[in-house]
Amino acid sequence: MCTQLLLTLTSREKIIISISNSIALYSQKLQEGAIAQNQSVIDFILKTIPESSRSELSMELIDDVFSFISNSHMELS
């Protein structure tokens, strides 16, 4: 018998994923020249986070996610 366990993401986990995705997208678009050099990552995040998730959004959380990403040494293969 096979039992499947389904886990649901919390709203905090979902906003962390959204912030991380926005930071990655910002970086990619900045390198491609698709966004203005003077647009901040914070402004970009605020424009890309879904309205339904904004109640969970805070500068502290954005800073935590950005700090984690900046300090992680991920290598692309």
The pLDDT confidence band at residue 29, using thresholds 50, 70 and 90, is very high
pLDDT digits (tens, 9 = 90+) for 48-67: 998 888 888 999 999 999 99
Q: Is the pLDDT of residue 2 over 70?
A: no
pLDDT of residue 63: 95
Residues 22 and 47: their CA atoms lie apart, in Å, by: 9
Average pLDDT of the chain, as a whole number: 87
Sorted by where each begins, the domain ranges of the chain are 11-71
Q: What are phi and psi of 58, to 5 degrees?
A: -150, 160
**pTM, 2 dp:** 0.80
